[in-house]
Amino acid sequence: QPTYLHDYQPPAYRVTHTELKFDLAPSATKVSARLQLERNPARGEEALPLELDGEGLRLERIAIDGQALNPDEYAQGDSGLTIHRVPERFALETEVVIDPAANTALEGLYRSGSMFCTQCEAEGFRRITFYPDRPDVMATFTTTLIGDAEREPVLLAGGNPVERGELPGGRHFVTWEDPHPKPSYLFALVAGDLEKVEDRFTTASGREVALQIWVEEENLGKTDHAMASLKRAMRWDEETYGREYDLDLFMIVAVNDFNMGAMENKGLNIFNSAAVLTHPQTATDAAFQRVEGIVAHEYFHNWSGNRVTCRDWFQLSLKEGFTVFRDQCFSADTNSAPVKRIEDVSFFRTAQFAEDAGPTAHPVRPDHYIEIGNFYTLTIYEKGAEVVRMLRNLLGWEAFRRGSDLYFARFDGQAVTIEDFVGCMAEVSGQDLSQFMRWYSQAGTPEIDANGHYDYAKGEYHLTLRQRTPATPGQPDKQPLHIPVRLGLVGTKSGHDLSLTLDGEALGTDTVLHLREEEQHFVFTEVAEAPVPSLLRGFSAPVKLRFPYGREDLAFLLANDSDGFNRWDAGQRLAMLALDDLIAAHRNGVEKVMDPRVIEAFRVLLGEESDDKAVLAEMLTLPSEAYIAEQQPVVDVDAIHAARSFVKQGLAMALRDEFLAIYEANLSEAPYAPEPEQIARRGLKNVALSYLMSIEDERAIELAQRQFEAGHNMTDVRSALTLLTHSSRGDLAEPALKAFGEQWAHDPLVMDQWFTIQVTRPQEDVLDRVRFLMQHPAFSLKNPNKVRALIGAFAGQNRVNFHRIDGEGYKLLAEVVIELNRLNPEIAARIITPLTRWARFDETRQALMKAQLERIRGEALSPNVYEVVEKALA
Ligand code: ARG
Ligand code: ZN
């Protein structure tokens, strides 16, 4: 029962205004709706039946223009309701009763603790009332909430509050009006006993906006960073994209039970508490930065998503890819730009590449789906952002900005397509982007094989680029893409970027080659010295690039490349070559030997005082086990783990004093601030400590314990606790875990971290601990954060133990998926991901993983899990 892009038809009826009334009660909330509808001329003259979506609704009344309908005038099914004949223009009234307390899927109206909240994207609104629940139906909304004055003193919805009052029986109401037409997926309400933190923002044109963050009382001290981030994001969007906020009120609400990070509902963003609350004592630097990024992301959606929205859900990346690109640039401007790029790319190359190579691979714009909830993916979000970034790079910022202005001006208030967006970019730049559009329709990660040689006699550098995209499910044949390859040639004598001349044209020292054919040759002339090419600078396209670099070449680039990103990448490639040898040695039972060139390269890095500390911390971080796995034809989790530990320990032994010096040089007594300079110091210090702890250095153990006990901030405490817990010195973990667990038992977000630290231990007995912790009073399968912190972290990050050769890790995950399939299908369909990657492993593990997928398939499945399991076993 898939939905296909090519079946798209405009809606038969439009909604011009929606009036909703909620009489809130935990198990029986009455929703009264009055929709102003009119026939859509785009569908012709003929009077079509009215189709409304609706799931799990108990219909109590239905009337057109005040006239109750007879049962033979409409038909009700599992997924909606059809009214056979309707006038051209009319008012539809319905009354339904729903049960928020029983809603564990966390879609539609549900309870989180004692509050009511909603999540409507993509198709949650149909669980609230009968409606044409599709993004191309946009209406103004008036929403009245009626609640218990004591239990729900706060009643919020999108837009502006226009009326409030007391009602008999201890009830009260508030009416909200949203003047901006919006699709149903942007509707939201929140009701509960909440407190607010308030601030103000004056827009560039002088509009006074009240900013409110609503939280449960105990979290009042944790909103400063989100508020500061929000104000920075508002200013940034004005300055960078010329986008201003358009209501008098902007609200954020923190809820504990939430499937995703956050949601951009018009005027009323709802956030997973983990994506908004911070405090130096409870949140790490990474969490502070994530909050900043997500607050900005949701705010930016007000234009890229809300003012201009998607015609249908196939266009999801239209808003998500663009908005992720926007939030990435915001974070880069606010913090360290190279580090932001390194973080984003290393995550992308690990997780999105794996998705693109797996059974659920899909294009940035898919052409069919069973359950749209399964398509909130790294491909739609992150690859979509890379595609927008390529557009920015192809056009240059100025033309890109003009294209963005045109897009917002032309399509304001409309629901549009990816062609509309790219069309604006083509129009303002005069560039032909037709081949570029393949990035949206072709799944899979393109691979570029590059080769080059220097012709001493002629002073020429010859570069050949060959591209190919491997087949993905349903797409056996791929067309060549338009790939921007940014590069420089670094002179081996001078250590500097050489001037580039191509076809007689001088291009400066850094240029972008346009690869459009399957294979292209480029001849750089007047190249005065032998160069090492620095290719795909800044990760200028989301591809895998292979070049036969020798280790000396990589060490050279690591020391000399002018592109910070490629310096880091050269280090990663160098480490990968050494790791490859060690993985082979491990598998062949040969003694492992540490490559001295890696040690030398690290020694050079550690000696560089002047370097950007944040970049240095990234450079000192070895490729993750997941990233290494991505590079192997058949993943051998044990060999990877052994090889990586060996390199880490080898470096720690050879460079012990240097790491210790780095640690000590970056200690600081300054009061915590989540600012780049401090974050860099802490990052560097904690990387150094992790090397030292890998060899159970006595001094390091002392330092880790001291750092843990000092409790300056969660970044340092968590680092130390992780190192103590993961140490092979078995006696260090328990006392620290116990102290931490007791200290933070009252704080769910800190307990999430406590779970994650424990279930990611490399020790062999960890699976028992996972099962034990699942019984812990702070754990609940109904809370997505807990599921991610415990099950997700175990299956996703603890590779050696999840992939135990007895299959117990797989079994545990299958049990959880089966249980969650009933409770929360969206989370079930996500948490299953590691099992779907079975094809990457040895035959024994393949069989074990498939057996668990078969076992899941034997259950009565939600569409979400069904779609993923079917693809995984296809
Ligand atoms: N639009 C939201 C965001 O990216 C995410 C909503 C996800 N909803 C879902 N049901 N998967 O900010
Ligand atoms: Zn988004």
Give 10-residue mean pLDDT values along the chain (874 residues): 97 98 99 98 93 98 98 98 98 99 98 98 99 98 98 98 98 98 99 98 98 98 98 99 98 98 99 98 98 99 98 99 99 96 98 98 98 98 99 97 99 98 98 98 98 98 98 98 98 98 97 98 97 98 98 97 97 98 97 96 87 91 98 97 98 98 96 96 97 98 98 98 96 98 98 98 97 98 98 98 98 98 98 98 98 98 98 98
Query: What's the confidence (pLDDT) of residue 145?
Result: 99
The percent of the chain in helix, strand and coil, each rounded to the nearest 5, is 45, 20, 30
Can you tell me which atom of ligand 1 is nearest the CA of 305?
Answer: 1
Query: What's the confidence (pLDDT) of residue 610?
Result: 63
Rounded to two decimals, what is the model's pTM? 0.99
Please give the structure tokens belonging to residue 358. 């797996």
Residues 202 and 803: their CA atoms lie apart, in Å, by 54
Q: Whose CA is nearest to atom 1 of ligand 1?
A: 263
Q: Say if ligand 1 is within 6 A of residue 263 CB.
A: yes
Can you tell me which atom of ligand 1 is nearest the CA of 301?
Answer: 12
User: Ligand 1 centroid vs 569 CA: distance in angstroms?
Assistant: 31
Q: Phi then psi for 144, rounded to 5 degrees?
A: -110, 130
Which residue among the candidates 93, 121, 298, 630 is catalytic per the annotation? 298
Q: Say if ligand 1 is within 6 A of residue 8 CB.
A: no
Question: 782 CB contacts (<8 Å, ≥6 apart)?
Answer: 104, 257, 823, 824
Q: Say if ligand 1 is within 6 A of residue 320 CB.
A: yes
Q: Say if ligand 1 is within 6 A of residue 373 CB.
A: yes
- Considering every ligand atom, which ligand is closest to the CA of 186? 1
Return left, alpha or beta for 783; rule: phi > 0 is left, psi -120 to 50 is alpha, else beta: beta
Q: Whose CA is nearest to atom 11 of ligand 1?
A: 373
- Are the C-beta atoms of residues 853 and 835 closer than 8 Å to each other? yes
Q: Whose CA is nearest to atom 3 of ligand 1?
A: 263
Query: What's the confidence (pLDDT) of residue 326?
Result: 99
User: Ligand 1 centroid vs 121 CA: distance in angstroms?
Assistant: 6
- Considering every ligand atom, which ligand is closest to the CA of 319? 2
Can you tell me which atom of ligand 1 is nearest the CA of 298?
Answer: 12
Can you tell me which atom of ligand 1 is nearest the CA of 262?
Answer: 12
Please give the structure tokens belonging to residue 373. 């909830």
Q: Say if ligand 1 is within 6 A of residue 316 CB.
A: no
User: Ligand 2 centroid vs 868 CA: distance in angstroms?
Assistant: 22
Q: Say if ligand 1 is within 6 A of residue 327 CB.
A: no
Q: Whose CA is nearest to atom 12 of ligand 1?
A: 263
Q: Say if ligand 1 is within 6 A of residue 123 CB.
A: no
Residues 743 and 750: their CA atoms lie apart, in Å, by 10
Q: Phi then psi for 156, rounded to 5 degrees?
A: -120, 145
User: Ligand 1 centroid vs 46 CA: distance in angstroms?
Assistant: 36
- Are the C-beta atoms of residues 579 and 597 closer than 8 Å to each other? no
How far apart, in Å, are the Cα atoms of 871 and each of 1, 374, 400, 508?
A: 14, 12, 37, 48
User: Ligand 1 centroid vs 308 CA: distance in angstroms?
Assistant: 16
ipTM of the predicted assembly exceeds 0.90: yes
- Are the C-beta atoms of residues 166 and 172 closer than 8 Å to each other? yes
Annotated catalytic, 298? yes
**Angle at CA of residue 865, ends 863 and 869, nearest 5°:** 115
User: Ligand 2 centroid vs 597 CA: distance in angstroms?
Assistant: 43
User: Ligand 1 centroid vs 414 CA: distance in angstroms?
Assistant: 20
> For 242-352, where are the alpha helices, taking DSSP H only?
285-300, 316-334, 337-347
Q: Say if ligand 1 is within 6 A of residue 616 CB.
A: no
Q: Say if ligand 1 is within 6 A of residue 371 CB.
A: no
